[in-house]
Structures are given as structure tokens and as C-alpha cells.
């Protein structure tokens, strides 16, 4: 495989860290960004090959230009592989979802990826090659109770992916999403803790509840999500897709 210039957002842990490890293992140059410089440094320390750490708050309107500009300067050209993984969740009944909750979900899960995609696409189209993979969620495919803001942001992200893919089809650039179910990540650990607090279940029982929502009967491993990301990076014929990685929970 030809070495590529890559940027992974939310790369300090979980799915983002797994994707960064897999890209680096294939010989790509990998830039990592997230809020926590310490977490990024710990991930980068274990990666082979060329890496770059650039901590940033991607909800800052200037972050996309600053992060991509630094990667381009350090790696010597436009980013070729962009993995939009940074995101967060929130849970509340719709009637108790605040304006602040709503705005935070849209800003981090939809607006920040939009800004990065808008900034990166011209360089990809200009060089005739690009791979964009957004980490969405099965929440991009269905509605569940108590996660209206999160679900709306992920539906929006999948819509952004599909529209962008149609726009650049034929240019050598593909745009896809992967849609994990409940994965074994810090984000799911926070959900487990919230369920435990709200219901009185033990953390183990709460974790089993989430695992049981997937027909395979367990949480998805972050490396299994990375498998789907790497497939999208490798293939020029997969574009405009939302690939479920959820143990069969959502069939499409």
C-alpha cells in the first residue's frame, strides 16, 4: 500500500487510537488530534513510523484550519486520509434536553466534522486522491429514547457524508461513515456508569444490558471498527456509505 498522509481526530483513546495504530502499522504517516495532549502523546509513543501530535479543541471555529495547516506543513502536502472520529454523547429525556446540550452535540458531532471536511476536500480533489471516513453511530440509522440531541447530530453527520460523497464522486475522493453500535470504549464506560447510577444496577449488570442489545451478545471491539475504517481507506469503490459495525443490531 502506498504510504499516505493521515489525520485522525479524537485519537487519544478508544476507536480513534485503534484507527491510528492500524494506519501507522500499514506504514502511513499519522497525525493525531484531540483535546488532551497527554493522551495523544501516549498513543503516539507506541506508533511506528512518522507521527505528529497536535492538541486542539475542534469546536473552535479556527481549529480546522490550524490543525490541517500544521499537518500539511509537517507532512509536506495535503492530507490524503481524514478520519473524523472526535465526538461525544449525552442522554436526557427530550423534554429535559437543554439548549446547551443540543448545541454541544451539534457543534462537536456535526459542525466540527463539517469544518474539517470543508477544509480538507479541495486539497484531496486537487491531488486526485482522498479518503474521508466519519465515525458516526447506529444512532445515525435509528431513533432511540433519551438521546435525541446525540441522534440528531449523528443523523446529520451521515447526511453530510452522503452529500459530500455525491459531490466529489469521480474525483478520486471517497467519503464514508462507519456506524458502530456499543463499543468497548471510554464513551460506553460513561454510559455504563450513568445507567448504573440511574437504575441501581451494578456496572457489570449495566454493561450486560448494552451488550445484550447487540445480537452477538457483546460490545464491539474498537479494532473491529478500525477494520471497517481501513476497508474504506483501501477501496476506491466504496463511497457514500454508512457501514454498520454493531453485531447485527441494525440490518441495512
Residue 162, domain CATH:
3.40.50.720
Q: What are phi and psi of 42, to 5 degrees?
A: -65, -40
3-state DSSP call for residue 245? Answer: strand
Opening angle at CA 69, ends 65 and 73, nearest 5: 180
- Whether residues 171 and 190 share a domain: the answer is no
Residue 199's domain comprises: 182-219
User: How does strand 81-84 pair with strand 242-245?
Assistant: unpaired
Q: What is the DSSP letter of 221?
A: P
Residues 63 and 162 both lie in one domain: yes
Does 252 map to a domain?
A: no
Q: Is 150 tagged catalytic? A: yes
Say how many domains are in the chain: 2
What's the pTM?
Answer: 0.94
139 and 192 assigned to the same domain: no
Contact 154, 100 (CB under 8 A): no
Does residue 34 lie in a domain region? yes
pLDDT at 54: 97
Please, are residues 178 and 245 in contact by the beta-carbon 8 Å criterion? yes
Q: What's the order of all strands across the beta sheet hosting 130-135?
A: 51-53, 29-33, 5-9, 81-84, 130-135, 173-180, 242-245
pLDDT tens-place values along the chain, 252 residues long? 799 999 999 999 999 999 999 999 999 999 999 999 999 999 999 999 999 999 999 999 999 999 999 999 999 999 999 999 999 999 999 999 999 999 999 999 999 999 999 999 999 999 999 999 999 999 999 999 999 999 999 999 999 999 999 999 999 999 999 999 998 888 888 887 888 888 888 988 888 888 888 899 999 999 999 999 999 999 999 999 999 999 999 987
99 is a domain residue: yes
Residues 236 and 207 in one domain: no
Looking at the structure, do residues 65 and 94 belong to the same domain, yes or no? yes
Number of Cβ within 10 Å of residue 119's Cβ equals: 18
Residue 8 · residue 39 · CB < 8 Å = no
CA distances from 4 to 30, 57, 66, 81, 127 (A): 8, 25, 20, 7, 12
Angle at 133 between CA 1 and CA 245, to 5 degrees: 100
Domain-embedded: residue 139 = yes
In order, the DSSP letters of 11-27 are TTSHHHHHHHHHHHHTT
Whether residues 130 and 213 fall in one domain: no
Q: Is residue 251 part of a domain?
A: no
C-alpha grid cell, residue 184: 468497548
Catalytic residue (one of 150, 225, 229, 242): 150
For residues 176 and 187, membership in a common domain is answered with no
**Per the domain annotation, does 44 fall within a domain?**
yes
What pLDDT score was predicted for residue 185? 86
Amino acid at each position: 500500500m502506498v504510504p499516505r498522509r493521515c489525520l485522525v481526530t479524537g485519537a487519544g483513546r478508544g476507536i480513534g487510537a485503534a484507527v491510528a495504530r492500524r494506519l501507522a502499522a500499514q506504514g502511513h504517516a499519522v497525525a493525531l488530534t484531540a483535546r488532551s495532549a497527554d493522551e495523544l502523546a501516549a498513543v503516539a509513543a507506541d506508533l511506528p513510523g512518522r507521527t505528529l501530535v497536535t492538541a486542539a479543541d475542534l469546536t473552535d471555529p479556527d481549529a480546522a484550519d490550524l490543525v490541517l495547516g500544521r499537518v500539511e506543513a509537517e507532512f509536506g502536502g495535503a492530507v490524503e486520509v481524514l478520519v473524523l472520529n472526535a465526538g461525544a454523547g449525552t442522554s436526557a429525556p427530550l423534554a429535559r434536553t437543554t439548549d446547551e446540550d443540543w448545541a454541544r452535540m451539534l457543534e462537536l458531532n456535526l459542525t466540527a466534522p463539517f469544518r474539517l471536511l470543508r477544509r480538507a476536500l479541495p486539497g484531496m480533489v486537487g491531488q486526485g486522491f482522498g479518503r474521508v471516513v466519519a465515525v458516526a453511530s447506529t444512532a445515525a440509522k435509528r431513533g432511540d429514547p433519551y438521546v435525541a440531541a446525540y441522534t440528531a447530530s449523528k443523523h446529520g453527520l451521515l447526511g453530510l457524508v452522503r452529500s459530500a460523497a455525491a459531490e466529489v464522486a469521480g474525483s478520486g475522493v471517497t467519503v464514508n461513515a462507519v456506524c458502530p453500535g456499543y463499543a468497548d470504549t471510554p464513551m460506553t464506560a460513561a454510559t455504563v456508569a450513568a445507567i448504573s447510577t440511574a437504575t441501581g444496577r451494578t456496572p457489570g449488570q449495566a454493561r450486560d444490558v448494552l451488550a445484550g442489545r447487540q445480537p452477538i451478545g457483546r460490545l464491539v471491539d474498537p479494532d473491529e471498527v478500525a477494520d471497517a475504517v481501513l476497508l474504506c481507506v483501501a477501496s476506491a469503490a466504496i463511497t457514500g456509505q454508512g457501514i454498520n459495525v454493531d453485531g447485527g443490531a441494525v440490518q441495512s
